[in-house]
Amino acid sequence: MSWYVILKKQGKHPEKSLTALKVKNLSDPGRYSDGNGLYLVVDPSGAKRWLLRTVIQGKRTDIGLGGLSLVSLAEARESALSYRRVARQGGDPLAEKRAKTRVVPTFKVAAETVHAEHKATWKNEKHAQQWINTLTQYAFPQIGNLTVDRLETPDVLRVLAPIWLTKPETARRVRQRIGSVLDWAKAAGYRAGDNPVEGVTRGLPKQAAKEDHHAAMPYKDVPTFISALKKSNSSLPARLAFEFLILTASRTSEVLQARWSEINTAEGFWTIPATRMKAKREHRVPLSPRAKDILAEARQVAGTSEFLFPGRTIEKPMSNMVFLKILERMEVKVTAHGFRSSFRDWAAETTSYPRELAEMALAHTIENKVEAAYRRGDLLERRRELMMDWASYVAG
């Protein structure tokens, strides 16, 4: 029975229509009006709860006042009167109610919540456990008991400083995971402002460069970079080639030397011959819908060239400096090769794909014999799912 029908039956603007005995005896599902917008709601399960229907800042709004087992008729009337009074004065009683009842979680609780939400999608149990273990070991002792709205850059600095130079890889992962937790806290409405992780490296000593190190962009910044790249004043072929490199997680030389004869449009993959691969092994790259769109656009620009992305003449590919020049003009201090690391970190931090699959997508040589067993096939279709998810992520 609708609230409108109830009103019609009980007369216009009923007031204090319910009694304690009537409230106790009501059992049929429906809404029962007490007057002035206060209702007793009887659910199909038999549970009873109070509901206030009122107008807040010109909008009709329902406010739950609690279950009958905790809130009596008299208490419900008192609460309803208080909320109506705030609403009549132009206030928002619902917002005030939320503010009073909202409990800001500690960093530890927030991290465990994020871990639990992601754990359902992680198929790699080992990585799921490592994710929370690093925070348990390094972050919780320092900031675990702080509520997420109070966390600032100096707090993150206290976590990272002891391991920044001695365990640089671990420190990087801890920083990323703290950032993920605080991003969640902001999205959930528990904190405002910038993520304090973003400026923390300014207070840390410079780490020694690792062998074969390529400056990489944090994966969470890649969607913004792609958007900026599309709007940059670089040439269209250069922009297309750079985006194609990021989407396929390929090396610069592999993209610039790519030929149309290597593209299988019907089955949607690109075969890089062994002669151009670092591991001297043929590598198939599944193409996401966006990668296919780029190729369709590049085809119109390339004309009769055998290269996907020809340079100043159709007989030669673009210069291997093209991406560096784009990054310099955009004032972004990373390398084109570093986007492979961005992809790798994204796969490890935010997806449930096995580590071995991400390594195969990067055409890395796998030394471990157990992991190398995956090389019996190239898992093209499984990797296609991975690359499509990456393309969707970087598209924002």
Torsion of CA 213, 218, 223, 229, to 10 degrees: -40
Per-residue model confidence (pLDDT) at position 252: 92
Per-residue model confidence (pLDDT) at position 374: 46
Say whether pLDDT at 65 is over 90. no
Strand partners, 59: 56
User: How far is residue 105's CA from residue 84's CA, in Å, rounded to a whole number?
Assistant: 30
Per-residue model confidence (pLDDT) at position 7: 42
Say whether pLDDT at 26 is over 50. yes
Assign 167 a pLDDT band (cuts: 50, 70, 90).
confident
Give percent of the chain with pLDDT exceeding 90.
42
How does pLDDT run across 193-245, given as a tens digit for each residue? 788 888 788 888 877 555 445 688 999 999 999 999 999 999 999 999 999 99
Tokens 């620009």, residue located: 301
How does pLDDT run across 306-353, given as a tens digit for each residue? 999 998 888 899 988 899 999 999 999 899 999 999 999 999 888 888
Per-residue model confidence (pLDDT) at position 224: 94
User: How far is residue 160's CA from residue 172's CA, in Å, rounded to a whole number?
Assistant: 9
Question: Quick one: which of 203, 249, 237, 194 has its CA closest to 325?
Answer: 237
User: How far is residue 58's CA from residue 252's CA, in Å, rounded to a whole number?
Assistant: 58
Report which secondary-structure segment, H or E, holds 151.
none
Question: What's the mean pLDDT in 89-111?
Answer: 78
Per-residue model confidence (pLDDT) at position 283: 92
Question: How many Cβ atoms are within 10 Å of 100's Cβ, its own excluded?
Answer: 7
Say whether pLDDT at 366 is over 80. no
Burial grade of 342 (CB within 10 A; 0-12, 13-18, 19 or more): buried
User: How far is residue 137's CA from residue 374's CA, in Å, rounded to a whole number?
Assistant: 32
Assign 377 a pLDDT band (cuts: 50, 70, 90).
low
Per-residue model confidence (pLDDT) at position 214: 61
Report which secondary-structure segment, H or E, holds 90.
none
Provide the CB-side half-sphere exposure for 223 (13 A, CA).
10
Contact between 106 and 140 (Cβ < 8 Å): no
User: How far is residue 9's CA from residue 148's CA, in Å, rounded to a whole number?
Assistant: 51
Assign 121 a pLDDT band (cuts: 50, 70, 90).
low
Per-residue model confidence (pLDDT) at position 99: 58
Assign 160 a pLDDT band (cuts: 50, 70, 90).
very high
Q: Give the chain's count of helices (H) and strands (E).
A: 18, 7
Lowest-pLDDT choice from 55-69, 134-148, 286-300: 55-69
DSSP 8-state symbol, 307: B
Report which secondary-structure segment, H or E, holds 347.
helix 338-350
Q: Is the dihedral of CA 369, 375, 379, 385 positive or negative?
A: positive
Say whether pLDDT at 303 is over 60. yes
Instruction: Name all domains of the chain by residue range, CATH numbers in brackets.
Output: 3-101 (3.30.160.390), 107-203 (1.10.150.130), 219-394 (1.10.443.10)
Per-residue model confidence (pLDDT) at position 376: 53
Which is more confidently placed, 46 or 112?
A: 112
Q: Provide Rg for the chain, Cα atoms.
A: 29
Give percent of the chain with pLDDT exceeding 70.
88
Question: Quick one: which of 213, 219, 173, 177 has its CA closest to 343?
Answer: 219
Question: Quick one: which of 357, 360, 349 has its CA closest to 172?
Answer: 349
H helix intervals, 54-167: 73-88, 93-101, 107-119, 125-134, 140-143, 153-160
Mean pLDDT of the chain: 85
| 353-384 exposure pattern, b = at least 16 Cβ within 10 A, e = fewer | bbebbbbbbebeebeeeeeeebeeebbeebbb
Which is more confidently placed, 97 or 128?
A: 128
Burial grade of 270 (CB within 10 A; 0-12, 13-18, 19 or more): buried
